[in-house]
Chain A
């Protein structure tokens, strides 16, 4: 039965090239845009390497300081994170690291700008980088302020061509570092892991910076399980509240919170206070926008399909007269629609793959390797299926309710 439905669908679609082409184009285009969006979303929400354990990670991304005459909003300082986050009881790992800044080098007259990030030793344990050679620097390197560096593959190529880099030195911002390891490039869509060169915080830790509460740093806390989140948050908040700010005249209170990445992104989107988790609302908003975006082409497809049904009313009457039950007509029709959206879905995925590889190659997003992995592929497939059913159900229902005699006489409106 299904086979003959499929065959029939194929024949009908082939005989209607214009209808088929218009619908195909509309659906394929919509699906490809949605697939690209979903690939971008996935790569930010689930960045994968090196943040493979994102589900168990909380971070401190922002601090707000309030005083009688001023209000400061910035990234946290090293001192605050060192005091309040570093030794949180119950955390599996805590890392404090710099936000990163561009750093210039000159190599044989060429100017090279690298994204430079200072980290502690735990950074390399919490985040799981893939090392192409060598090894990370350690907590000891950090505390002794050793001038060592981990670089990414692109930096190795820029400085050393195709040679290995471990053991060699590079000069950045006028200082010389010994390369101890090389990691795979990390795209900017994983901001915590993105950089070209990493060095220990200890190489530049002045007493001032050691005490600062505001500016330049962030931290990640890996919990043993998500069940510990509440305790970790409470303890961190308690410690922040206890902080004595030396510069009493300017700032009196500090606000900071351990947040999930999603909550951080949602907070940025909705511009709400630190610590408020709006991620559920963001997911809903994203879903809603996607739905809205799909509705227009879906309505369009319903329209096209509906006029096709009316145009084919005589065929429907014929099939009814020759023994098709209303149910089997619905089946035939839905199969036809699913074949259409299925083909369009595949076309949409291919188009999306092409678009993503263009984005990857354009260099617009540093080190991007967006692609259609299984997850995005399944998203796309689900979208196509949803589309096919959505646009087919109403016309099919109308069709099944047609009076066969009126259908035969073409007296349907």
Chain B
């Protein structure tokens, strides 16, 4: 479904050239649950951004359903992100000015839906992460674990095929982290959603189907 072929990424600044990724080959199939591990600076986030169509590789290619992603313009790429992908970040990234419900509705704003349908989908999604009682709160009124659950509700509200999570438990204690992983596992198992998760925690990684280890931008297996 989503495939990286011999992908490399070089960051160029005025003085520095960083080879963040090199020669990565990776396939994400329907129903996969993958963990990405590696020391800090090894390119995990960069890999996730490439998978999430937020960035373009400097070598190799990213293919979605057999089509080169680089060929698409901004509007098509945005559309693909909207339909296919969901993101969960380490620091939650909720919009502080919007209520929980409005935050969860964000991906649906870019689809031709009525307000009512949007609202219903968002409420259902919040129900799935167990936050039905907090829909009118603002992010600052929630605990870290609750915020991350809102973020997951937002990531899955549009029924994406692939969920990309960059250290989703990084800012949480192990008990709360455990709850988050359980939600991801369930989404993967019950709904067949593909999940790619960056993590530093060996225990969480072992619960996935496959571990991709990065070191200095290269895959080591």
B98 contacts which of A11, A317, A408 (Cβ < 8 Å)? A11
Report, as a range, how many residues of chain A touch the other chain.
20 to 34
Partner of A318, one of B75, B78, B79, B106: B106
Verify A322–B115 contact, CB threshold 8 A: no
Please provide the chain A residues from 127 to 173 with a CB less than 8 Å away from any CB of chain B in the complex: none
- Chain A min CB distance to B133 (Å): 21
Q: Which of B122-180 contact A (CB under 8 A)?
A: 154, 158
Q: Determine if B109 is an interface residue (Cβ-Cβ < 8 Å).
A: yes
B99 CB, min distance to chain A CBs, angstroms: 8
Which B residues are CB-close (under 8 A) to A1?
A: 112
The main secondary structure of chain A at its interface with chain B is helix
Q: 1/0 contact trace for A1-31 toward B, CB 8 Å?
A: 1011001100110011000000000000000
Chain A residue at minimal CB-CB distance from B78: A325
Closest to A324 in B: B110
Question: Is there an interface contact between A317 and B110, defined as CB atoms closer than 8 Å?
Answer: no
A230 to B84, CA, bound (A): 72
Which residue of A has the minimal Cβ distance to B95? A315
Shortest beta-carbon distance from B104 to chain A in Å:
10
- Taking CB atoms and an 8 Å cut-off, the chain B residues in 84-111 that contact chain A are 86-87, 89, 93, 95, 97-98, 102, 106-107, 109-111
Residues of A within 8 A of B158 (CB): 322-323
Given contacts A321-B54, A321-B81, A327-B75, A408 and B107 within 8 Å (CB-CB): no
Q: Is the CB of A326 within 8 A of B74?
A: yes
Given A314-B93, A318-B93, A408-B89, check contact A11 B102 (CB 8 Å): yes
| Highest count of chain B CB atoms <10 Å: which of A11, A315, A317, A323 | A323
Report the number of A-B residue pairs with Cβ-Cβ less than 8 Å.
71
**In the complex, are the beta carbons of A15 and B75 less than 8 A apart?**
no
A328 touches B110 (CB 8 A): yes
Does A320 belong to the interface (CB within 8 Å)? yes
Residues of B with C-beta under 8 A to A321: 52, 54, 81, 87
A82 to B177, CA, bound (A): 100
Contact B110 A323 (CB under 8 A): yes
Minimal beta-carbon separation of A322 from chain B (angstroms): 4
Q: Does A319 contact B (CB under 8 A)?
A: yes
* Cβ 8 A contact of A15, one of B83, B97, B115: B97
Q: How far is the CA of A64 from the CA of B25 in the complex (A)?
A: 93
Residues of chain B from 36 to 95 with CB closer than 8 A to chain A in the complex: 49, 52, 54-55, 74-75, 77-79, 81-83, 86-87, 89, 93, 95
Are B97 and A3 in touch, CB under 8 angstroms? no
A404 touches B (CB below 8 Å): yes
Minimal beta-carbon separation of B112 from chain A (angstroms): 8
Q: How far is the CA of A278 from the CA of B187 in the complex (A)?
A: 76
Among A3, A11, A322, which residue has its beta carbon within 8 angstroms of that of B87?
A322
When the two chains form their complex, are residues A16 and B97 in contact, meaning their CB atoms are under 8 A apart? yes
Closest 6 CB pairs of A and B: A323-B82, A325-B78, A322-B107, A15-B97, A323-B110, A325-B75
Q: A327-B75, A328-B110, A408-B93 are in contact. List 19 more A-B contacts (CB 8 A).
A: A3-B115, A4-B109, A8-B109, A12-B98, A312-B97, A318-B106, A320-B78, A321-B81, A323-B79, A323-B81, A323-B82, A323-B110, A323-B158, A324-B78, A325-B75, A325-B78, A325-B79, A405-B49, A408-B89
Q: List 27 A-B contacts (CB under 8 A).
A: A4-B118, A7-B115, A15-B97, A15-B98, A315-B97, A318-B106, A320-B54, A321-B81, A321-B87, A323-B78, A323-B81, A323-B83, A323-B107, A323-B111, A324-B109, A325-B77, A325-B79, A326-B78, A327-B74, A327-B75, A328-B78, A328-B110, A404-B54, A405-B49, A405-B54, A405-B55, A408-B89
